[in-house]
Chains A and B, each alone.
Chain A
C-alpha cells in the first residue's frame, strides 16, 4: 500500500519507462501544446526585442544587418505558430531582408545603365529583367514589414478615423515609423517591378495619415519627409495650408543631420528621382557629402543613417553610370562630374615660357 505509482513503474522495467515518455510527449503535442517551444519562443522574441534590435540598430555594417534579416526572419517568425506572432521584431527582420534584395536590384540597375551606356541592348534588357525580379521580391518583403508593424501596434491604417497607436518606448516609435516608411518604399519597388508584387497603392495615403502620430523633430524629419513624398505622389493628399513639399523635404533633411541619422535626406532624393528633378538630386548628394564634416551620428540609430547613405550613394551611382559608364569614384561622392583643371586657380606662365 505504501508503494507509490513511481516505484511501481520502476519495477516494471525499462520498456515501460520508454513507453511512458512517448505517451507523455504524444499527449502534450496532441493538445498542440509544447511548453519547451513556447518558452523558447517567448525567450527568443523577448531577447530579439530587448537586446538584438537595439544592437542591430547601432550597427554600421548595413550588409551584415540585411543578411541577419534574411537568415533570422524564418526562424524568429516561425515562433508565431506556438506563441503570439512576434510582429515588432518580424517587421524589422523583413525590413532588413528587403534591404538585401534591394541592393541586388540596384546592382542590376547599374548593370543595365552600363550596358545602355555601351549600346549593348541584350545585356541592358537582361539586367532590366533581373532588376524587376529583385524589385518584386523587395516589394513583397516591404509589404510584409509594413503589415507586421501596423499589426504589432494594433493600428488599422485603412481606417481613416483610426486613432494613433500607443507607443510605449522609443523603439516602438521607431519600429512603427520604419514600418510606414517601408510601406511607402514597397509601392516604389512594386512600380519598378512592373507591378509584379501587387502592392495596394492606398498604402501611400495611409502612411501619410499615420506619419502624423510620431514627432517629426525627434525622428530626424522622417515623418514629414514621408508625408511630403506622398503629397508629391498624390497631390490630393496634401492639406490645403501645407507648405511646398520640396521645402518640407529640405527642412526634414536638415533635421535629419541635426538628429544624427540622415534618412530624411534619402527620402528627399527618392522624391526628386520620382519627379525627375535632377537639380534636386545633385543638390541633395552635394548636401549629404557636405554634412559629413562635423557630423555626429546618433549612436543608437547608426544603421538608419547607413541605410540613408546607401540610398543617396545609389542615386549618385546611377547618375555617374548614366553619364560616364561607371559608378561614383570614392573621392568624387558629392559631385556630379570628374573635376578638371578648370576647377582650380592657375598661374599665368607667360613670363616663364
Chain B
C-alpha cells in the first residue's frame, strides 16, 4: 500500500514538472557547434524565455542526425534543427522549404509573421509534437564549379550533392536529369570542394563557413535564385509547454527575425559580386513554373514523386506569392496550389 502510494506520488511529481515546464533541455544543431550563429541565436532565445519563467539548457550538436536521435530518445525536450528534419514531426511547417515556393525574403517575412500569430497555433501541433518557433537560415542557392551551368538544362548528367533524407530534393535532381550523390550536411561541402560532385545547394552561410569558395574556384559561381528557404525550427513534445507558453515561445522566436536576417544578409554580402551568376528574368519565369509543377507532384505524390509537401502550406505560400506578385501566371492557373 505504502509502495503504491509512493509510486503514485512519484508519478505525479514526475508528470507535474513536465506539464509546467519550468525548465527544459534543448538539443541545438549548428554546423559549427557552440560558436555558431544558430547556437548563439538560441542563447538569446533561452534568455528571453527565462524572462518568461522557463529555464532552458542548451546542448550543441554539430551532427544534425545525432541531435535528432537524442531528441527522439528523450535526452532533450526541445530540438532546434533545419526544417527538413522537422518535417517528420510537422509536415505543415516542414514544407516551408518547398522548392521555389518563397522567392523573396519579403515573402518569407509574411509567412513567418503569419505563423507566429495565435490563430496559427492549431497548425503548429501534429501527432503529439508542437513547433515552438521558426527562424530563417537563408535561402538555398545552387553552387556550381563551372559557370556554364546556368540553366536547368545544363544540369543534366552533372553530379549533385544531395541530402539523402531530403526526398523532395532527390526528386528535383532526378527531374533535371542530374545524378544524385547522397550526402549529409557534414560531408557535402567536402565533396563539392574536392571535385567529387559538380554542384551542391546550400545557404550563403556555407560559402565562408564551409569554405565552398574552394569548390567554386575561378570557374564556378553561385546561381542567384533562391531554390528554397531554409529555416531553423524548434520542436517539442506537445505536452512540454502549456499552450500559452508555446505561443509565447513562437512570438519570442518571431521577435528574433531581424537578428537572424541580419546574419543571413551578412553571409550573402560576403560572397563577392563576381561569384554570383545572374540569370535572365525570362528564364526565371520558366523555373517558377517548373518548380510549381514539381511542388504539385510532391504534394499529391504523383508521377513517381513521393508525398512530401503539406497541401495547406502549399496553399498558404501560393497566397503569399500572389499577394506580392498578383500578375504571376500561377495566380490565374487552373491548378493553383
Contacts from A to B (Cβ < 8 Å): 329-332, 338-341, 343-347, 349, 351-353
Contacts and interface: CB of A to CB of B under 8 A. Distances in A.
A351 B109 contact: no
Interface in B210-260: 251, 254-255, 257-259
Nearest to B315: A352
Given A340-B255, A346-B110, A346-B114, 19 more contacts: A330-B259, A330-B262, A341-B113, A341-B116, A344-B109, A344-B110, A344-B112, A345-B110, A347-B319, A347-B320, A349-B119, A349-B120, A349-B316, A351-B315, A352-B315, A352-B316, A353-B119, A353-B122, A353-B123
Interface string B41-52: 000000000000
A347 B109 CA distance: 11
Interface in B67-117: 109-114, 116-117
Contact of A341 (B251, B259, B316, B320): B251
Interface residues of B, number: 26
B42 to A, nearest CB: 15
A343 to B, nearest CB: 8
A329 B260 CA distance: 12
Nearest to B255: A338
A209 B111 CA distance: 58
B110 A341 contact: no
B262 to A, nearest CB: 4
13 contacts: A329-B259, A330-B262, A331-B259, A340-B255, A341-B113, A341-B117, A341-B251, A345-B109, A347-B110, A347-B114, A349-B120, A351-B315, A352-B316
A349 B117 contact: yes
- Which has the most chain B C-beta neighbours within 10 Å: A330, A345, A347? A347
B101 to A, nearest CB: 14
B279 interface: no
A347 B259 contact: no
Interface of B: 109-114, 116-117, 119-120, 122-123, 251, 254-255, 257-259, 261-262, 312, 315-316, 319-320, 323
A233 B312 CA distance: 62
Given A351-B315, A352-B315, A352-B316, A345 B113 contact: yes
B117 A346 contact: yes
A346 B316 contact: no
Nearest to A329: B259
Given A346-B113, A347-B110, A341 B254 contact: yes
A31 to B, nearest CB: 64
A343 B109 CA distance: 10
Nearest to B312: A352
A338 B13 CA distance: 38
Contacts of A344: 109-110, 112-113
A202 to B, nearest CB: 47
Contacts of B257: 339
Contacts of B261: 331
B299 to A, nearest CB: 14
A340 B120 contact: no
Nearest to B123: A352
Contacts of A331: 258-259, 261-262
Contacts of B122: 353
A344 B105 CA distance: 12
B48 to A, nearest CB: 10
B320 A339 contact: no
A223 B81 CA distance: 55
Contacts of A351: 315
Given A339-B255, A352-B123, A347 B315 contact: no
A293 to B, nearest CB: 12
Contacts of B312: 352
A331 B319 CA distance: 29
Nearest to A338: B255
B258 A332 contact: yes
Q: 7 nearest interchain CB pairs?
A: A344-B113, A346-B114, A331-B262, A347-B114, A331-B258, A352-B312, A331-B259
A151 to B, nearest CB: 47
Contact of A349 (B110, B114, B259): B114
Nearest to B319: A347
A351 B311 CA distance: 12
B74 to A, nearest CB: 31
A102 B163 CA distance: 54
A339 B258 CA distance: 9
Nearest to B51: A325
